[in-house]
Structure 1
Amino acid sequence: MAQQSRRAFLKSAAAFGGALALPSHSRASNSLPLLRAMPSLAQIAPPGYQETPVWSYATDGAAAVPGPELRLKAGQRVTRRLVNDLPQATAVHWHGIRIENAMDGAAPLTQAPVPPGQTFDYDFVAPDPGTYWYHAHNHSMEQVARGLAGPLIVEDRRPWLGEQGAATRELTLVLDDWLLTRDATIVEDRWHDLHAASHAGRLGNTVSVNGKAYPEYAIRPGERLRLRLINTATARIMRIGLPGLSPRLVALDGHPVVPRSAETVTLGPAQRADVVIDAALDPERPAALLLDPGRGDWVDIASFSYRGDPVTPTASDVMPLPSWGTLPAPDLSNPQQERLLMEGGAMRGMDGAMYQGEQMDFRELASRGMVWAFNGVAHGMDEPMFRAPLGRTVRMQLSNRTAWPHAIHLHGHHFTVLSRNGSKDPHRDVRDTILMGPDEEAEIAFVADNPGRWMVHCHMLAHQKAGMMAWFEVS
């Protein structure tokens, strides 16, 4: 069995393209539950390989990859004391939560990075139900690639599971991408690889589901499940297939959508999707979670095995998730118009950009580790990209003038996708991260209803590090 796993691991590696604020300050009490960031080991590669040294989160027990699932109901508080047992300063970003600015964890904009041996107290309300995640947000390309990420599940205020047309149970599936050597250790000498940063980013050779290669999940014949899919990879776009399971999409980035068929679901880094599946009644029928690494050559990354007595299939249509009821609708009658222009990267480049207050040509920018820009500014942290008064609707034109895709994430807000490439978006999905293809145009709109300084960046984290980082202010 170990030999079969090793062969599958090497085959998979070939498919993925290569060889293997201030610390200690809070309004909260001294009795907060802990979230400890620490070095640990994880069995990411199949049995027969050694454990991989990782950085990971722990709560009550041992550290794990992904970090422990944090679960609460909408409207409840998240209270955690971050304890930094890493050799680097760190911070925790609560991705997708419309959060108080001081708790966003976006170091150094909203808090100082937490030094080794120090703590920081997070205490905030999670207002909206949905599928979210938490991850490191200092040296984030390295720290997330080492394993510092975990799921954050905010349950619906009103019951959904078990209702007519809903699922009977749910399963959280955290998808990640690891760049491993042949002895299953993380490749250590490419954290500053400008070649990777100017292309697709740090792409791995091993995909894990809930921290394991090729896990198996038991399902009962005929049952209806809700899958919470989270892409925590630093660069890999996950195109997911669920053949034979009648998948229907019910939420994107935590926000409900009108249920619709979803034979494939594409998740850029940081994006999430909630998908309802119906298991077949035939226990001999194979079922798997498939991934297209980019060439249409689908590979299994997890399997479903039929166990237990069959259940009577749900004949009704999928019941929609409860509405948030908390997100203001954009007023498009007279919005504030903004633009986000993406430039740079390999095979396209740019003439130059501002960096740290100086105009530089592309060669000089590259010598500083900068190869991307937003609106002619690389890593624009000196001044806000724009300012918006509280309650104002912002309509933003996004233009990708590069040869590479980008997953653009707005902190503290969800936005409505209005159009792509000049055509109205038929679904008007509400998201916190939008995947932009090469030379693609999109329009989004949101109400600037959350005061503070908020990051906007590419969640291909090597792109973020190499220039695709900015912020806006709501006041």
Structure 2
Amino acid sequence: MPNISRRTFIGGGTALSGLGLLSACGRGDASPTLVKPTDDIVGAVEKKRPSTGRERKFSLSAVESDLDIGGRSVRTWSLGDALPGEELRLTAGDTLNATLDNRLPEATSIHWHGLAVRNDMDGVPHVTQAAVPAGEQFTYRFTADTPGTYWFHPHVGTQLDRGLYAPLIVDDPREPLSYDEEWVVMLDDWLDGIDTTPDKVLAQARKGMGHDEGHGGGEGGSGPMRMGPMLMGASSDLLGGDAGDVFYPMHLVNGRPANDPHTFSAKPGTRLRIRLINAGGDTAYRVALGGHRMTITHTDGFPVEHREVDAVLLGMGERYDVLVTVKDGVFPLVALAEGKSATALALLRSGSGEAPGPDVRPDSLDGEIVNATDLVADASVRLDDRDPDVRHTIKLTGGMADYDWAINGRAFDRDAPTKNAFEIRQGQRVRVAFTNSTDMWHPLHLHGHTFQVGPDGPRKDTLIVLPGQSLECDFDSANPGRWLVHCHNVYHGEVGMMGLFAYTA
């Protein structure tokens, strides 16, 4: 087995960039100068990834299901009969071999969120693969070469806002953290099968907030006002104003609502690692563990200089790893649906005591909270100091009135995905300016790469960009192909807030 370290994984791009392009591109392609997911260079880079030589096989079934969520039977789609789906776990350098059996009534796919996989395994229809038709199978196979907290979900329509997701944990063979136990926590906002479906919500949203006929009366009193499946007045100072568009009847921790919380048991004094994942469609969560402070160790799978806080804020698609030393008693892990006057709940039990009720709100939710931009990348993963070879500006545009979310004023064209692509070349240092010209926050997600925020900020693949904010981020182009960049609000992305980074030959 090769000698593998975290620096080996992160630095791999430098060696890969010298491969050059191994095949002519564009056979049958409208953009002949762009690398395609099937080109030889994609496979050549994959072969250069550090590998343990082990292959881990998994079977995934996407099915129609009836799930019990807090005592309520909900008809939805899920991976098997569990919510979330079963966790996949492997060690960095292992090859993942996962066969998706699509038993749904329509096509689907899997996107491996946060992992720099080979381009033809990224799971984006119209860009990297055809969606897997109903009744058929597809095997995803790639080397997972970077340790961290990841997850997977479909990239077809609004399917993300159903139950088709699960955690993917890539263990570090030389784990630098010292802890006794681990708790993987997936947060989700839920509406599917409760008076509506994600597709119906999208259809309503497309009308824009100036067209509310048929919504009925508003609900919510002094808080956000519900207009059918939509929200008005959901506001958050942390998010710079408008917090979200969509009303969710339930908010979940590991598939369970606040009236039926999941309980994690540990002994007092246990050093606990909590891996937090926001799998929501339209909700940011502010998370705190009552009676405890948390030490942030990672964001989006990459280590940061440790920072002790009272709570963390996760946009859709973001992940944070935190350490806590468990006290004696029963403590609420509360995920506040930012701006939406609702919470998700789980319990940590380390001793005797009465469990808090579903409306508990620990003081730490209003304590010290840092933004990702306040964190500093650990030295082991920090990009070397280098001037950018190419610069691109991604301006977030649109608004709620016409629900015309887009990038640089253009809605993404799935029939011509390379049109208006941001072109880059293998081996470049790419600088991207994310500029938010809208009145709402957006969690921007880049496929196939991680970027560094500012000169020494964290390495991330998903980043909250606040209204009026502009953030410069750098990444090294070491993973050839065509890679989506988009808002991870599923409804914003679906109407057009997507773009494409495309490698040139």
TM range (shorter): 0.7 to 0.9
Residue 157, structure 1, aligned to residue 173, structure 2: yes
Deviation at 1:272, TM superposition (A): 0.3
Within the alignment, does 1:220 sit opposite 2:267 as a pair?
A: yes
Cα distance in 2 between the residues matched to 1:331 and 1:196: 47
Shift of 1:457: 0.6
- Give the distance between the partners of 2:251 and 2:332, measured in 1 at CA: 14
SS at match of 1:189: helix
| CA offset digits 1:126-169 (Å, max 9, x no partner) | 11100000001112x2x1211111000000121446xxxx2101
Q: Is the 8 A contact 1:243 1:263 kept in 2?
A: no
Please show how residues 88-167 of structure 1 align to structure 2 within 5 Å.
88-139=106-157, 141=158, 143-160=159-176, 166-167=178-179
Q: 1:64 aligns with which of 82, 97, 118?
A: 82
Counterparts of 1:121 and 1:159 in 2: how far apart (Å)? Answer: 29
Equivalent of residue 457 in structure 1, options 476, 479, 486 = 486
Question: For each residue in 1:407-426, what CA deviation from the matched residue of structure 2 results, as whole angstroms up to 9, or x when unmatched?
Answer: 110000000000xxxxx7xx
Give the Cα–Cα distance (whole angstroms) in 2 for the partners of residues 90 and 197 of structure 1.
27
Q: Secondary structure at the match of 2:78?
A: strand
Matched residue of 2:491: which SS? helix
Q: CA deviation at 1:324?
A: 9.8
Q: Output the CA distance in 2 between the equivalents of 1:383 and 1:188.
A: 26
The answer as to 2:349 corresponding to 1:305 is yes
How far did residue 382 of structure 1 move? 4.2
Matches of residues 49-448 of structure 1 in structure 2 within 5 Å? 49-58=71-80, 63-139=81-157, 141=158, 143-160=159-176, 166-179=178-191, 189-194=200-205, 200-213=244-257, 214-280=261-327, 282-283=328-329, 286-295=330-339, 299=343, 301-307=345-351, 329=383, 331-346=385-400, 371-380=404-413, 381-418=417-454, 428-448=457-477
Are 1:40 and 2:65 an aligned pair?
A: yes
Preserved CA contact (<8 Å) 2:149 2:319: yes
Deviates more, 1:372-381 or 1:448-457: 372-381
Which amino acid is 2:487 matched to? C
> In the TM superposition, what is the alpha-carbon distance from 1:240 to its structure 2 partner?
0.9
Amino acid at match of 2:106: Q
CA–CA distance in 1 between the matches of 2:208 and 2:171? 37
Query: Separation in 2 of the partners of 1:299 and 1:120?
Result: 37
SS at match of 1:78: strand
TM-score (norm 1): 0.76
Superposed CA deviations along residues 8-45 of structure 1, whole A, max 9, x for unmatched, are xxxxxxxxxxxxx89xxx99xxx96421111112222x
Q: 1:53 to 1:296 in 2, by over 3 A?
A: closer
Match of 1:102, SS state, is helix
Q: Do the aligned partners of 2:251 and 2:344 also contact (CA within 8 Å) in 1?
A: no
Q: Which moved more, 1:447-456 or 1:215-224?
A: 215-224
Q: Secondary structure at the match of 1:116?
A: coil
- Using the TM superposition, give the Cα deviation of residue 269 of structure 1 relative to its aligned residue in structure 2, in angstroms: 0.3
Which residue is 2:502 aligned to? 473
Q: Give the letter for the 1:344 counterpart.
A: G
Deviations for 1:369-390, whole angstroms, at most 9, x for unmatched residues?
A: x611211211142414311110
Alignment check: 8 A CA contact 1:227 1:276 kept:
yes
Q: CA deviation at 1:106?
A: 1.2
**Map of 1:14-33 to 2, 5 A cutoff?**
33=58
Are the aligned partners of 2:441 and 2:464 in contact in 1 as well (CA < 8 Å)?
A: yes
Task: Give the superposition deviation at 1:296.
Answer: 9.4
Seen in structure 2, the aligned counterparts of structure 1 residues 443 and 323 have a Cα distance that, compared at 3 Å, is closer
Equivalent residue, structure 2, for 1:354:
none
Whether the 8 Å contact between 1:396 and 1:444 is mirrored in structure 2 is yes
Does the Cα contact within 8 Å between 1:415 and 1:445 map onto a contact in 2?
yes
TM superposition shift of 1:345: 1.0
> 1:115 and 1:379 mapped to 2: Cα distance?
23
The Cα of 1:220 is off from its aligned counterpart by 1.2
Alignment root-mean-square deviation, CA: 2.7
Moved more, 77-86 or 211-220: 211-220
Q: Distance in 1 between matches of 2:126 and 2:76?
A: 24
Listed as ranges, the gaps of 5+ residues in structure 2 are 1-36, 47-55, 210-241, 353-376
Amino acid of the residue matched to residue 457 of structure 2?
R
Deviation at 1:187, TM superposition (A): 7.0
Residues in 2 aligned to 1:122 and 1:445: alpha-carbon distance in whole angstroms: 29
Work out whether residues 278 and 314 of structure 2, in 8 Å CA contact, stay in contact via their aligned partners in 1.
yes
How far apart in 1 are the matches of 2:468 and 2:378? 34
Identical pairs, percent: 34
Cα pair distance change 1:401/1:323, threshold 3 Å: closer
Distance 1:247 1:210, change over 3 A: same
The question of whether the paired residues in 1 share the 8 Å contact of 2:179 and 2:273 is answered with yes
Structure 1 stretches lacking a partner, 5+ long: 1-20, 309-321, 348-365, 419-423
TM-score, structure 2 normalization = 0.72
Q: Is the 8 A contact 1:219 1:279 kept in 2?
A: yes
Inter-CA distance 196–402: structure 2 relative to 1 (3 Å threshold): farther
Question: Match for 1:42: what amino acid?
Answer: L
Cα 1:188–1:473 shift into 2, 3 Å: closer
Distance in 1 (CA, whole Å) between partners of 2:424 and 2:208 is 31
Aligned AA (1:329): L
SS in structure 2 of the partner of residue 131 of structure 1: strand
- Aligned counterparts of 2:136 and 2:437: Cα–Cα separation in 1: 42
CA distance in 2, matches of 1:95, 1:258: 23
Counterparts in 2 of 1:190 and 1:297: CA distance versus 1, 3 Å: closer
Q: Which amino acid aligns with 1:378?
A: A
CA contact (8 A) 1:343 1:372 kept: yes
